[in-house]
Amino acid sequence: MILFTRPLEPNQRERILSVAPQAGLVEEKDLLADDTLIQRIEICYPRLPDELWDKATSLRWLQSNWTGVEALLAVPAVLRHPAVITNVHVQPQSIAEHLWGMTLSLTRNLNASRRLQENGVWDNKTATSGLSTLADRWLCIAGFGAIGARCATVGRALGMRIIGISRNGRPHPLADEIVGPEKRIQAFSRARVIMMLLPDTRETRGFVGTRELDAMDGAFLLNAGRGSAIDTDALMAALKDGRVRAAGLDVTDPEPLPAGHPLWSMPNVFITPHYSGMHPGYDEEAFEVFFANLQRWVRGQPLQGIVDRTLGY
Protein backbone atom coordinates (compact mmCIF):
# COMPACT_ATOMS: atom_id res chain seq x y z
CA MET A 1 0.00 0.00 0.00
CA ILE A 2 1.11 3.55 -0.79
CA LEU A 3 0.14 6.43 1.47
CA PHE A 4 -0.17 9.90 -0.07
CA THR A 5 -0.27 12.77 2.38
CA ARG A 6 -0.85 15.34 -0.35
CA PRO A 7 -3.63 15.30 -2.97
CA LEU A 8 -3.00 13.37 -6.17
CA GLU A 9 -4.05 14.66 -9.56
CA PRO A 10 -6.16 12.16 -11.56
CA ASN A 11 -3.40 11.68 -14.14
CA GLN A 12 -0.87 11.06 -11.37
CA ARG A 13 -3.08 8.36 -9.88
CA GLU A 14 -3.40 6.73 -13.30
CA ARG A 15 0.35 6.78 -13.86
CA ILE A 16 1.04 5.20 -10.49
CA LEU A 17 -1.43 2.40 -11.16
CA SER A 18 0.08 1.86 -14.59
CA VAL A 19 3.38 0.80 -13.01
CA ALA A 20 2.03 -0.62 -9.73
CA PRO A 21 -1.45 -1.94 -10.63
CA GLN A 22 -1.76 -4.03 -7.46
CA ALA A 23 -0.90 -1.17 -5.13
CA GLY A 24 -3.57 0.17 -2.84
CA LEU A 25 -3.53 3.98 -2.91
CA VAL A 26 -4.33 5.43 0.50
CA GLU A 27 -4.90 9.03 1.51
CA GLU A 28 -4.31 10.51 4.93
CA LYS A 29 -8.05 10.78 5.60
CA ASP A 30 -8.38 7.02 5.10
CA LEU A 31 -6.23 6.47 8.19
CA LEU A 32 -8.91 8.09 10.31
CA ALA A 33 -11.50 5.58 9.21
CA ASP A 34 -9.29 2.54 9.93
CA ASP A 35 -6.65 2.87 12.62
CA THR A 36 -5.03 -0.42 11.58
CA LEU A 37 -4.39 0.80 8.03
CA ILE A 38 -1.14 2.53 8.96
CA GLN A 39 0.34 -0.87 9.84
CA ARG A 40 -0.01 -2.00 6.21
CA ILE A 41 1.56 1.04 4.52
CA GLU A 42 4.79 0.17 2.69
CA ILE A 43 5.49 3.41 0.80
CA CYS A 44 4.73 7.03 1.73
CA TYR A 45 4.90 10.30 -0.20
CA PRO A 46 5.80 13.02 0.72
CA ARG A 47 5.63 12.97 4.53
CA LEU A 48 4.47 10.83 7.43
CA PRO A 49 3.16 12.61 10.53
CA ASP A 50 5.61 12.26 13.42
CA GLU A 51 3.14 10.41 15.62
CA LEU A 52 2.62 7.66 13.02
CA TRP A 53 6.19 6.47 12.55
CA ASP A 54 6.13 3.97 15.38
CA LYS A 55 2.81 2.60 14.12
CA ALA A 56 4.00 2.26 10.51
CA THR A 57 5.54 -1.15 11.09
CA SER A 58 5.45 -2.16 7.39
CA LEU A 59 6.85 1.09 6.00
CA ARG A 60 9.87 0.40 3.82
CA TRP A 61 10.37 3.67 1.93
CA LEU A 62 9.46 7.34 2.39
CA GLN A 63 10.00 9.76 -0.48
CA SER A 64 10.29 13.33 0.78
CA ASN A 65 9.48 16.24 -1.54
CA TRP A 66 12.27 18.38 -0.04
CA THR A 67 16.04 18.28 -0.18
CA GLY A 68 16.72 19.15 3.44
CA VAL A 69 15.41 16.49 5.82
CA GLU A 70 17.03 17.59 9.08
CA ALA A 71 13.63 18.24 10.72
CA LEU A 72 12.56 14.73 9.80
CA LEU A 73 15.75 13.19 11.15
CA ALA A 74 15.30 15.08 14.41
CA VAL A 75 12.28 12.88 15.23
CA PRO A 76 13.43 9.96 17.44
CA ALA A 77 10.86 7.57 15.93
CA VAL A 78 12.28 8.28 12.45
CA LEU A 79 15.81 7.51 13.57
CA ARG A 80 14.63 4.21 15.02
CA HIS A 81 12.70 3.23 11.90
CA PRO A 82 14.39 1.02 9.28
CA ALA A 83 12.57 2.59 6.28
CA VAL A 84 14.68 4.08 3.48
CA ILE A 85 14.28 7.86 3.11
CA THR A 86 14.86 9.58 -0.23
CA ASN A 87 14.81 13.28 -1.06
CA VAL A 88 14.51 15.43 -4.17
CA HIS A 89 16.89 17.81 -5.92
CA VAL A 90 14.70 20.05 -8.06
CA GLN A 91 15.94 23.44 -6.84
CA PRO A 92 19.37 24.08 -8.45
CA GLN A 93 18.17 26.54 -11.08
CA SER A 94 15.88 28.58 -8.83
CA ILE A 95 18.38 28.77 -5.97
CA ALA A 96 21.17 29.80 -8.35
CA GLU A 97 18.96 32.53 -9.82
CA HIS A 98 17.98 33.69 -6.34
CA LEU A 99 21.57 33.85 -5.07
CA TRP A 100 22.81 35.64 -8.14
CA GLY A 101 19.90 38.07 -7.97
CA MET A 102 20.89 38.93 -4.41
CA THR A 103 24.58 39.08 -5.31
CA LEU A 104 24.11 41.51 -8.19
CA SER A 105 21.73 43.61 -6.13
CA LEU A 106 24.44 43.97 -3.48
CA THR A 107 27.48 44.39 -5.73
CA ARG A 108 25.71 46.88 -8.03
CA ASN A 109 23.96 48.73 -5.18
CA LEU A 110 20.57 47.95 -6.72
CA ASN A 111 18.95 47.65 -3.31
CA ALA A 112 20.27 51.10 -2.36
CA SER A 113 19.02 52.56 -5.63
CA ARG A 114 15.62 51.01 -5.00
CA ARG A 115 15.44 52.80 -1.66
CA LEU A 116 16.34 56.06 -3.39
CA GLN A 117 13.61 55.48 -5.95
CA GLU A 118 11.03 54.82 -3.24
CA ASN A 119 11.87 58.24 -1.78
CA GLY A 120 11.99 59.96 -5.17
CA VAL A 121 15.65 60.90 -4.77
CA TRP A 122 18.20 61.15 -7.61
CA ASP A 123 21.50 60.61 -5.77
CA ASN A 124 24.25 59.37 -8.04
CA LYS A 125 26.89 59.63 -5.32
CA THR A 126 25.07 57.30 -2.92
CA ALA A 127 24.12 54.89 -5.68
CA THR A 128 27.67 54.52 -6.95
CA SER A 129 29.50 54.47 -3.61
CA GLY A 130 31.47 51.25 -3.24
CA LEU A 131 30.37 49.56 -6.46
CA SER A 132 32.00 46.21 -7.04
CA THR A 133 32.73 44.21 -10.18
CA LEU A 134 33.06 40.45 -10.39
CA ALA A 135 35.16 39.59 -13.44
CA ASP A 136 38.49 37.98 -12.55
CA ARG A 137 37.47 37.73 -8.89
CA TRP A 138 37.09 34.48 -6.94
CA LEU A 139 33.72 32.96 -6.15
CA CYS A 140 33.82 30.54 -3.21
CA ILE A 141 30.98 28.02 -2.99
CA ALA A 142 30.68 26.07 0.25
CA GLY A 143 28.68 22.94 -0.57
CA PHE A 144 29.61 22.06 -4.14
CA GLY A 145 26.74 19.80 -5.15
CA ALA A 146 24.18 20.25 -7.92
CA ILE A 147 23.18 23.72 -6.70
CA GLY A 148 26.78 24.79 -6.27
CA ALA A 149 27.60 23.61 -9.77
CA ARG A 150 24.76 25.71 -11.19
CA CYS A 151 25.97 28.75 -9.25
CA ALA A 152 29.48 28.12 -10.59
CA THR A 153 28.19 28.06 -14.18
CA VAL A 154 26.75 31.56 -13.75
CA GLY A 155 29.91 32.74 -12.03
CA ARG A 156 32.02 31.55 -14.94
CA ALA A 157 29.74 33.40 -17.37
CA LEU A 158 30.48 36.57 -15.39
CA GLY A 159 34.21 35.95 -15.69
CA MET A 160 34.82 34.73 -12.16
CA ARG A 161 37.18 32.02 -10.97
CA ILE A 162 35.69 29.30 -8.83
CA ILE A 163 36.89 27.67 -5.64
CA GLY A 164 34.58 25.09 -4.11
CA ILE A 165 34.46 23.58 -0.64
CA SER A 166 33.18 20.03 -0.41
CA ARG A 167 33.36 17.27 2.18
CA ASN A 168 35.25 14.93 -0.16
CA GLY A 169 37.48 17.57 -1.74
CA ARG A 170 37.30 15.89 -5.15
CA PRO A 171 37.98 17.99 -8.28
CA HIS A 172 34.99 19.24 -10.27
CA PRO A 173 35.05 20.33 -13.94
CA LEU A 174 33.25 23.60 -13.14
CA ALA A 175 35.69 24.64 -10.41
CA ASP A 176 39.24 25.92 -10.71
CA GLU A 177 39.88 24.39 -7.29
CA ILE A 178 38.07 22.21 -4.77
CA VAL A 179 39.24 22.07 -1.18
CA GLY A 180 38.05 20.28 1.93
CA PRO A 181 36.33 22.01 4.88
CA GLU A 182 39.61 22.18 6.78
CA LYS A 183 40.88 24.73 4.23
CA ARG A 184 37.83 26.97 4.31
CA ILE A 185 39.60 29.93 5.91
CA GLN A 186 42.15 30.05 3.09
CA ALA A 187 39.34 29.75 0.53
CA PHE A 188 37.30 32.52 2.16
CA SER A 189 40.30 34.84 2.27
CA ARG A 190 40.64 34.73 -1.53
CA ALA A 191 36.98 35.22 -2.42
CA ARG A 192 35.07 38.34 -3.38
CA VAL A 193 31.76 36.46 -3.23
CA ILE A 194 31.02 33.54 -0.89
CA MET A 195 27.92 31.39 -1.36
CA MET A 196 26.89 29.03 1.43
CA LEU A 197 24.86 25.97 0.41
CA LEU A 198 25.39 23.68 3.39
CA PRO A 199 22.80 21.39 5.00
CA ASP A 200 22.17 21.40 8.73
CA THR A 201 24.40 18.69 10.20
CA ARG A 202 26.72 18.31 13.16
CA GLU A 203 29.67 19.11 10.89
CA THR A 204 28.17 22.23 9.31
CA ARG A 205 26.66 24.00 12.33
CA GLY A 206 28.81 27.03 13.06
CA PHE A 207 30.83 26.44 9.89
CA VAL A 208 31.34 30.22 9.68
CA GLY A 209 32.32 31.88 12.93
CA THR A 210 34.60 34.72 13.98
CA ARG A 211 37.78 33.16 12.55
CA GLU A 212 36.17 32.56 9.16
CA LEU A 213 34.61 36.04 9.08
CA ASP A 214 37.97 37.59 9.96
CA ALA A 215 39.36 36.06 6.77
CA MET A 216 36.68 37.43 4.44
CA ASP A 217 38.21 40.90 4.08
CA GLY A 218 35.17 42.71 2.71
CA ALA A 219 33.61 39.83 0.78
CA PHE A 220 29.93 39.51 -0.06
CA LEU A 221 28.42 36.59 1.88
CA LEU A 222 25.30 34.77 0.66
CA ASN A 223 23.49 31.91 2.40
CA ALA A 224 20.78 29.70 0.91
CA GLY A 225 21.69 26.50 2.76
CA ARG A 226 20.78 26.58 6.44
CA GLY A 227 21.06 29.46 8.88
CA SER A 228 22.84 27.29 11.42
CA ALA A 229 25.98 27.33 9.26
CA ILE A 230 26.73 30.95 10.24
CA ASP A 231 27.14 32.38 13.73
CA THR A 232 24.59 35.21 13.59
CA ASP A 233 26.11 37.39 16.31
CA ALA A 234 29.56 37.08 14.76
CA LEU A 235 28.10 37.90 11.33
CA MET A 236 26.44 41.08 12.60
CA ALA A 237 29.73 42.22 14.13
CA ALA A 238 31.55 41.52 10.84
CA LEU A 239 28.91 43.45 8.88
CA LYS A 240 29.32 46.44 11.17
CA ASP A 241 33.10 46.65 10.91
CA GLY A 242 33.39 45.78 7.20
CA ARG A 243 34.96 42.34 7.39
CA VAL A 244 31.86 41.32 5.45
CA ARG A 245 30.82 43.99 2.96
CA ALA A 246 27.22 42.81 2.71
CA ALA A 247 25.13 39.68 3.24
CA GLY A 248 22.27 38.12 1.31
CA LEU A 249 20.36 35.71 3.53
CA ASP A 250 17.57 33.41 2.40
CA VAL A 251 18.02 31.47 5.65
CA THR A 252 18.74 32.76 9.14
CA ASP A 253 19.45 31.57 12.65
CA PRO A 254 17.02 31.86 14.32
CA GLU A 255 14.40 31.14 11.66
CA PRO A 256 11.91 32.64 11.18
CA LEU A 257 13.84 35.79 12.03
CA PRO A 258 11.93 37.46 14.90
CA ALA A 259 10.44 40.92 14.55
CA GLY A 260 12.85 43.51 15.87
CA HIS A 261 15.95 41.38 15.29
CA PRO A 262 18.96 43.63 14.45
CA LEU A 263 19.51 41.92 11.07
CA TRP A 264 16.25 43.42 9.76
CA SER A 265 17.52 46.98 10.01
CA MET A 266 21.11 46.54 8.83
CA PRO A 267 21.49 48.48 5.57
CA ASN A 268 24.02 46.03 4.11
CA VAL A 269 21.81 42.96 4.59
CA PHE A 270 19.33 41.58 2.06
CA ILE A 271 16.88 39.11 3.61
CA THR A 272 14.35 36.84 1.89
CA PRO A 273 12.08 34.43 3.82
CA HIS A 274 13.56 31.06 2.81
CA TYR A 275 11.99 30.61 -0.60
CA SER A 276 14.97 30.43 -2.96
CA GLY A 277 14.16 26.81 -3.84
CA MET A 278 10.53 27.48 -4.73
CA HIS A 279 9.49 27.91 -8.34
CA PRO A 280 6.50 27.30 -10.62
CA GLY A 281 6.14 23.59 -11.19
CA TYR A 282 7.99 22.56 -8.02
CA ASP A 283 5.31 20.11 -6.89
CA GLU A 284 5.10 18.53 -10.33
CA GLU A 285 8.87 18.11 -10.53
CA ALA A 286 9.00 16.59 -7.05
CA PHE A 287 6.27 14.13 -8.03
CA GLU A 288 8.28 13.13 -11.09
CA VAL A 289 11.19 12.25 -8.80
CA PHE A 290 8.87 10.08 -6.72
CA PHE A 291 7.37 8.46 -9.82
CA ALA A 292 10.81 7.66 -11.29
CA ASN A 293 11.83 6.12 -7.97
CA LEU A 294 8.58 4.15 -7.82
CA GLN A 295 9.43 2.61 -11.19
CA ARG A 296 12.83 1.62 -9.82
CA TRP A 297 11.18 0.17 -6.72
CA VAL A 298 8.83 -1.97 -8.81
CA ARG A 299 11.77 -3.22 -10.93
CA GLY A 300 13.90 -3.95 -7.89
CA GLN A 301 16.45 -1.30 -8.86
CA PRO A 302 18.31 0.99 -6.41
CA LEU A 303 16.48 4.17 -5.47
CA GLN A 304 17.99 7.57 -6.19
CA GLY A 305 18.42 10.29 -3.60
CA ILE A 306 18.82 8.00 -0.60
CA VAL A 307 19.46 10.02 2.55
CA ASP A 308 22.47 9.00 4.61
CA ARG A 309 21.17 9.24 8.17
CA THR A 310 24.69 9.44 9.55
CA LEU A 311 25.58 12.44 7.39
CA GLY A 312 22.10 13.97 7.64
CA TYR A 313 21.52 14.43 3.90
Q: Which residues are catalytic?
A: 226, 274
Q: Which string of DSSP letters, residue by residue, matches 47-89?
A: ---GGGTTT-TT--EEE-SSS--HHHHTSHHHHH---EEE---
Of 179, 173, 176, 107, nearest to 143 by C-alpha is 179
Query: Residue 230 — φ and ψ, nearest 5°?
Result: -120, 130
Number of DSSP helices (H) and strands (E) in the chain, helices first: 12, 12
Torsional sign, CA 98, 194, 231, 131: negative
Nearest to 155 by CA among 169, 173, 174: 174
Closest C-alpha among 293, 210, 174, 195 to residue 248:
195
Alpha-carbon torsion (111, 242, 130, 93), positive or negative: negative
What whole-number distance in Å separates Cα of residue 207 and Cα of residue 229? 5
Cα first-last separation, the chain:
26
Which candidate, 258, 251, 219, places its Cα nearest to that of 238?
219
239 Cβ neighbours under 8 A, 6+ residues apart: 246, 247, 266, 268, 269
Judged on CB neighbours under 10 Å (0-12, 13-18, 19+), 260 is exposed
Whether the link from the prior residue into 254 is cis, omega within 30° of 0, is: yes
